[in-house]
Amino acid sequence: MKTKFVLLLVFSFLASASAFSQAPVVPPVTGPEKQTVTTAIPGIVSAGRKVERIWTGNMSADGLIALPDGTLLLPEQGADRVSKVDRNDKITLYLEDTNETGAIAIDPKGRIIALERGGAGGSFPGQPPRARGPRLSVLAPTRATLADNFEGKNFGILADMVSDKKGGIYFTEPMTASVYYYSPAGKLTRVTNQNEAANGIMLTRDEKTLLVTNGPKGILAWDVQADGSIQNPRLFANPEGGVDGLGIDSEGRIYDCSRLGIQVMTADGKPLGLIPMPRPATTLAFAGPDKKTLYMIGRGNDGPDGTGNLARSLYKVQLVAQGFKDRAK
């Protein structure tokens, strides 16, 4: 009886993990896309800007981030690679054998830091089981594992990450409601396990506040301490349309991915307006030579398998606002 109970718990966990990593929070939009244009948000985007689709795929994609030269990195999780998108929308291979990397940060040393999801949500169609499990790693210039467990327990699905100016990394693990901090000295700590749906994560410009999305409960904020720990949890905002990935611009305004598009808020969480998208948004990044191009991923596409759980589309729109240049994301 005890053995059957344990097996039941294991199967339940695997089913939940697979659902989190591959099932959409909301259904993808079906059918041909309608052209989407912006309405004016003063200081952020002009009216009538086209939201252009530049890529589609059926093996998932997440964790957009810009390189210092303004090109965009596109982690294609199921395809086990990271692609690069230039200013002319040309897409080329940047890294391969990435162990289902789904989020990237660039630390002050210029290293490409990754959250390798390593098959935690189940194997992608047509892909073999992963030899490596979920881990925090360096993908370039030299590959290395930074952490693959906490206190002896292997990681589950790793969602999103952000690097601080000291070289530390904050990252989220939704299944355990956890946020971790990997310090510049290489020490891993769990700074909270009370965020029920920890996912998107961002630091404010001064890095005194950490923001983490919390599913239907909106975006939570903590005060960052000198050692990287966090205190004083509170509600930052609860945007209409839900929460997913987060971004920040040069003025400290916060950008939230939602099922309606990109919700833009002031630095203290007050709504400013919506950048619409044809599909529910999951992740975003400012890129381009001046960081005035906003790139966004939406769930689904209008191809033959466009309503599948792993279908994604990449869009861009030109802004008046500029991304925060002192951090990759």
Query: How many whole angstroms separate alpha carbon 65 and alpha carbon 43?
Result: 23
Round the average pLDDT of the chain to a whole number and report it: 90
Q: Is residue 164 part of a domain?
A: yes
Question: pLDDT tens digits for 56-72?
Answer: 999 999 999 999 999 99
Confidence of residue 34 (pLDDT cuts 50, 70, 90): confident
Q: Is residue 172 part of a domain?
A: yes
Taking alpha carbons only, the member of 185, 144, 184 closest to residue 163 is 184
Query: How many whole angstroms separate alpha carbon 52 and alpha carbon 63?
Result: 19
Q: What is the pLDDT of residue 14?
A: 34
Q: What is the pLDDT of residue 28?
A: 61
Q: CB atoms < 10 A from the CB of 214, how many?
A: 23
Confidence of residue 27 (pLDDT cuts 50, 70, 90): low
Confidence of residue 307 (pLDDT cuts 50, 70, 90): confident
Cα distances (angstroms) measured from residue 208 to each of 73, 235, 238: 27, 16, 20
State what percent of residues in the chain have pLDDT above 70.
90
Question: pLDDT tens digits for 164-213?
Answer: 999 999 999 999 999 999 999 999 999 999 998 999 999 999 999 999 99
Mean pLDDT to the nearest integer, 105-134: 90
Q: Which residues contact 288 (CB under 8 A, 6 or more apart)?
A: 66, 70, 87
Q: Is residue 327 part of a domain?
A: no
Q: Is residue 29 part of a domain?
A: yes
Q: What is the pLDDT of residue 256?
A: 98
Q: Which residues contact 5 (CB under 8 A, 6 or more apart)?
A: none
Confidence of residue 2 (pLDDT cuts 50, 70, 90): very low
**CA angle (76, 91, 137) in 5-degree steps:** 40
Question: pLDDT tens digits for 243-254?
Answer: 999 999 999 999
The pair of structure tokens assigned to 178 is 């956890």
The pair of structure tokens assigned to 194 is 């009370």
Amino acid at 4: K
Query: How many whole angstroms separate alpha carbon 90 and alpha carbon 53?
Result: 13
Q: What are the beta bridge partners of residue 72?
A: 66, 85
pTM of the model: 0.90
Q: Is residue 282 part of a domain?
A: yes
Confidence of residue 8 (pLDDT cuts 50, 70, 90): very low
Question: pLDDT tens digits for 144-174?
Answer: 999 999 999 999 999 999 999 999 999 999 9
Query: How many whole angstroms separate alpha carbon 287 and alpha carbon 278?
Result: 20
Q: Is residue 46 part of a domain?
A: yes
> Domain range spanning residue 63?
2-318
Q: Is residue 177 part of a domain?
A: yes
**Residue 280 pLDDT > 90:** yes
**Residue 214 pLDDT > 70:** yes
Q: What is the pLDDT of residue 127?
A: 78
Q: What is the pLDDT of residue 17?
A: 37
Q: Is residue 328 part of a domain?
A: no
Confidence of residue 32 (pLDDT cuts 50, 70, 90): confident
Q: What is the pLDDT of residue 311?
A: 93
Total domains in the chain come to: 1
Cα distances (angstroms) measured from residue 289 to each of 88, 90, 129, 292: 12, 15, 39, 8
Mean pLDDT to the nearest integer, 79-104: 96
Query: How many whole angstroms separate alpha carbon 236 and alpha carbon 203?
Result: 13
Q: What is the pLDDT of residue 109?
A: 95
Residue with tokens 């003025």: 251
Q: Are 211 and 201 in contact (CB under 8 A)?
A: yes
What CATH number is given to the structural domain containing 254? 2.120.10.30
Mean pLDDT to the nearest integer, 225-243: 96
Q: What is the pLDDT of residue 154?
A: 96
